[in-house]
Structure 1
């Protein structure tokens, strides 16, 4: 289920960054900040409802979302570093930022799952 959420997040991330750069004329580095925030929100919603539905964060939805963003920040740093390195190393990728976004996302997914499972959603839900 986490992988499905990751694919959804990747589609949002890569699609947003590609659209902002190609159609909106945005700087590819700045566009990635917005695309990450949108993708992180989509993955949080998916994982909260599906992947970790049987687990409880112990937080309100708003606090959980902020906690999710903070935790995903670790993966985002890995993701962004790979993205930026690929853009710097390969000039043609600046017209296709979705490709380095996908590469960064693939590596960061491993970090993000470990963080989400081990920190935010570590406790089983209690019966009500």
Structure 2
């Protein structure tokens, strides 16, 4: 007999896999735009790009068949529901690139810190608000 929490664990692992793809998009965007936008502007653009990517993959894989309404509405709800996660994620990123010379030189470390802080809240909000 399967443990009743096994489907939740599988869903979280899919969410984490999608999150890793988002992390790669986030990192590539920061490194690709920091020369033009600076670290803070690059961080905002990267978050929006990564959040849109993760919404799409969560919609078609992690939470497939869940949620309702048109895609653009669900995307907007996803961004709104994860606003607190954004504040935690990018707040951590901004603190790290501001106060840690290592993170300013290697922003991927600040991105990892932000992801770690926001991941569990984003999973909860995605599961309970966006894709319910």
Q: Give yes or no for contact 1:80–1:104 (8 Å, CA) kept in 2.
A: yes
Match of 1:117 in 2: 127
User: Structure 2, unaligned stretches of length 5 or more?
Assistant: 1-13
1:93 aligns with 2:103: yes
8 A contact 1:14–1:99 mirrored in 2: no
- How far did 1:80 drift? 0.9
Cα RMSD of the aligned pairs, angstroms, is: 1.2
More helix by share: 2
Q: TM (normalized to structure 1)?
A: 0.87
Q: Residues 96 and 25 from structure 1, CA distance in 2 versus in 1: closer, same or farther, beyond 3 angstroms?
A: farther
Matched residue count:
119
Question: Which 5+ residue runs of structure 1 have no aligned equivalent?
Answer: 123-128
Name the SS of the counterpart of 2:37 in structure 1: coil
**Distance in 2 of aligned mates of 1:36 and 1:90:** 20
SS of the residue 1:54 aligns to: coil
SS of the aligned residue for 1:114 comes to helix
4+ residue runs over 3 A deviation? none
TM-score by length of 2: 0.85
- Contact residue 9 and residue 42 of structure 1 kept, 8 A: yes
The aligned residue for residue 53 of structure 1 is 64
CA distance, structure 1, for counterparts of residue 31 and residue 105 of structure 2 = 8
After TM superposition, the structure 1 = structure 2 runs for residues 2-81 of structure 1, keeping only pairs within 5 Å, are 2-21=15-34, 24-55=35-66, 57-81=67-91
Distance 2:128 2:39 in 1: 32
